[in-house]
Amino acid sequence: MYQPLKQELKEIRVLEVHSARKVEEPLRGTLRHVRLEEASFSALSYVWGDEDNDRSEISIVYEMEPRKDLASKLRLKRTPSYDRGIASSLSRALRHLRKKHGTIIIWTDFLCINQQDTVEKNWQIPLMQTIYSEAKDVHAWLGPRWNDDLTTIHNTNAAFDVSKKIWAIADRIENSPNTASEENWLVACLVVATSQSSADPRQQFYVGFATALRRAAYADPSIQREIASIETLSHNEYFARMWILQETGRARKLVFHFGHKQAPHRNVLLALALANSLHASVSRSQPDVVPTSFDTRFQGCLSARTTCLHQISLREVLSAAYYSNPPSQAATNPRDYIYARLGLAENPSGIEVRYEQSVAEVFTTASGFLLLEGFLDILVTFRPYKFQRKITDQGFPSWAYDWSRNSQKHFQRYDAALGTSQRVSITSYHDERYKKILSMRGVNIGEVVSINERFSDIALASGLHKGTIVLADLRAEQEEMTAEKKEIILHNIKYAYEQLNVDVSSLDIEDLFRHRSLPFASFWCWWVVWIASLVHMMEEAELHQAQGSFPPINIAELIFREDSKALRDNPNMSYFGTKTGILALANYYRWSMLASQSPGQNPPQRRVLDRLAESLYRSAWGMRPAVLASGRYGYVPEDTKPNDEVVIFNGVKAPLVIRRYSNHAYSIIGPAHICGVMHGEVMAHRLQNDVFYLV
């Protein structure tokens, strides 16, 4: 039924929603073409919802711009009405927004863009930046959804009510940001949400306000009773949607709706920020208590509005998206991980919206854009395990970033390239599998000649849950300790100690099972086997360093990678990087004594124990010990094989393991931690650079 829009005139469709006295009356509206620069309208921001299980309808009259009929010279004004199926989320939003008298003109993507016309989507979607910027107001519809239970509906309604109380309290506090500019209010709201110190003077200005607001909330019994309702609000699926970043970020006036409740964005987001802060403070003060869940994705609205106010470039938008920590917004169409962010940039030129492209092509285009702009950090992305779904196809280059999945960023802290930079080039590559090739300059520091066991193989054999392995978090998943599993772990620990020539009794190992906050027995089983693997690596490296061209072997920087501050602050920590010192870290007696303490006996020591265990675990995550032909040693990605090469590329913060793909091209396996090179020690010698071609 859609008629083509005129791209040269920047036409859009708007929906005129007809009036109704009651919410339950049928939906009726008129869809018409208008020029964007001349139109006056509101815009709707919502979650499409489940179109299969919960459908509704709207009766639409499609009205074109009046035109002359060549035969009769008559003016044709409208076509007959037709019924259009829509999801109930859109239906409920329109029913609550329409007026009892008069009409409301609104833009909503589902009806105003022909979703079946790829060509139209390719030029209409980039206009959304202007549509949401120019709309008189943006209505953010949070529900209720068709499957919300009564508790969710009650709590969300209560959250809107308590947001007014919090706003009133904030208004009475000295230096309240309630009347500040939008930019300063966003700064204040982020300070309230995160409770973190900063060197930014504007953030420091609002620290006192944030502290006073939290104290007032603690002192108000009514807010304490209702704060849980805001937790329910934080889980609203609206905040998990990728497109809300642009829609809330660009809005001049933003109003949140839930049924008949409505509130300005400042009220709702400040309430969420306060509740997040209170939740985080409880989690920090009571680490042994399992905290209730609080979804922080509402902060995406704060970040998006800040981004749009600062008018930043597309390079800055995508690089900030790369660094953003989970949880992050999701997209039904994976291409929208890129396309939904284009509208946040002030001038999003450089990436075209082309829905006919594959997901891999879209992700490769975005990655290539960043690399050509000099942003090389995506090359040290570390993601050793496949998560729930893999979006990319066979032709996805090893240098491109999968924007649908978060990755570990702990290699960003290094500077193996010693501040160097380079201009890369991306050219066509005539290959059956890969169509693009990346050329870069770098220094080859050695071929892999010896590898030890994979981290995940040892962890799995030690009884650690797969979720714990995949997420690099000892607290992620824990299984019930059955008698059979306990017996296997006891056997494995005793066997590992035998490899280290240490005698240990089953009675001593029993103490490890008393620890409750971590799966400590399984961790210890992994740790002792890992130590044996590290000792083997050190012995291999000694053989390759027979020429005496390297300092004595010390792997402290490897095992304390995730606690590098402790390593810097305490020089004695380097002792544990020696062969004697690392064997001391396998002293079961000291560990088991700490692990067996009950939570009330010595909480500080138990927290130190937990922190150390988690640090050792994360430092080795996804890696395997390896030795290079040059005599260097360290951690390389689990998929590394003998004959792979390790290269420090100009401008790249960590060495990369690469594997020969063809006679003149390589693929990237992943970043590595090689001792003695992570802070530019090799690049300081200005060694010869070679050109490498990467697919």
Q: Which residue has the higher pLDDT, 662 or 288?
A: 662
How much is the pLDDT for 135?
98
Lowest mean pLDDT among 69-78, 113-122, 170-179, 615-624: 69-78
In 464-518, where does DSSP find H-type helix? Answer: 466-471, 483-499, 506-510
Lowest mean pLDDT among 82-86, 232-236, 542-546, 602-606: 602-606
Cβ–Cβ < 8 Å for 422, 625 = no
* pLDDT tops 90 at residue 286: no
Cβ–Cβ < 8 Å for 358, 269 = no
How much is the pLDDT for 200?
81
417, HSE (Cβ side, Cα atoms, 13 Å): 26
Q: List pLDDT tens digits, range 194-221.
A: 877 677 888 889 999 999 999 999 899 9
Average of per-residue pLDDT across 410-417 = 94
Residues whose CB falls within 8 Å of the CB of residue 689, separated by 6 or more in sequence, listed in order: 441, 442, 443, 650
* Percent of the chain residues topping a pLDDT of 70: 89
The Cβ of residue 480 has, within 10 Å, a number of other Cβ atoms equal to: 5
pLDDT classification of 58: cutoffs 50, 70, 90: very high
Torsion of CA 157, 47, 338, 657, to 10 degrees: 70
pTM here is: 0.89
pLDDT classification of 496: cutoffs 50, 70, 90: confident
How much is the pLDDT for 75?
43
Q: List pLDDT tens digits, range 351-398.
A: 999 999 999 999 999 999 999 999 999 999 998 887 545 555 678 999
- Rounded-to-integer distance, Cα 593 and Cα 589, Å: 6
Q: List pLDDT tens digits, range 522-564.
A: 888 899 899 989 999 999 999 888 665 788 899 999 999 988 7
How much is the pLDDT for 282?
54
Which DSSP string do the residues of 246-289 spell out, in sequence order?
Answer: HHHHS-SSEEEEETTEEEEHHHHHHHHHHHHHHHHHHHHH-TTS
Lowest mean pLDDT among 40-44, 435-439, 540-544, 645-649: 540-544
Among 162, 166, 184, 164, smallest CA distance to 175 is for 184
What is the residue whose two structure tokens read 């016309």? 117
Average of per-residue pLDDT across 287-299 = 70
